[in-house]
Chains A and B, each alone.
Chain A
Amino acid sequence: GENVEQHPSTLSVQEGDSAVIKCTYSDSASNYFPWYKQELGKRPQLIIDIRSNVGEKKDQRIAVTLNKTAKHFSLHITETQPEDSAVYFCAASREETSGSRLTFGEGTQLTVNP
């Protein structure tokens, strides 16, 4: 099955700096890669996703890049703000063959210091 690894497990940045979180996956057939933000005790919230037919996607301060050859994808947050502090999870799935059966990375605790 799919195995997703995520790094770093914790990340502390100053407000205004950029934050980068990286994930690797093992199943070359995976084609859907979402990123979720989870605040303590809350449900995961989708913040951005990318499919295997594109290499990069951007939404305001958030961007995701995908390298299919190397089987890794990254989340980039620019101009970080204290409200960006949360746990971020990457995930991967074979969207077409098994619905949206996601395999999650271990998570990254992001802390943005004012």
Chain B
Amino acid sequence: EVVLTQSPATLSLSPGERATLSCRASQSVSSSLAWYQQKPGQPPRLLIYDASKRATGIPARFSGSGSGTDSTLTISSLEPEDFAVYYCQQRTSWPPTFGGGTKVEIK
């Protein structure tokens, strides 16, 4: 199965700063990569799909890029509600797999 490695494990930033999260796949996932945000006690929430398409209702400060084995989620200017854990997920190969997550915390 495809292993997704996310880095860094933790990102300590202040509101208004730019966040750059990385997801590396053990083999090519083409552009079939999604990003989810999860807050404590809540289910994951779809942010980005097919590497760069924002899901319904997702603010423009969230953007995704990349293809093949390397993908990036960028939050252009952190809002207080953006501090959470972010997961990448691939759906190119069976079974679908998730990364281990990046926690974006307040510095």
Query: Are A and B bound to each other?
Result: no
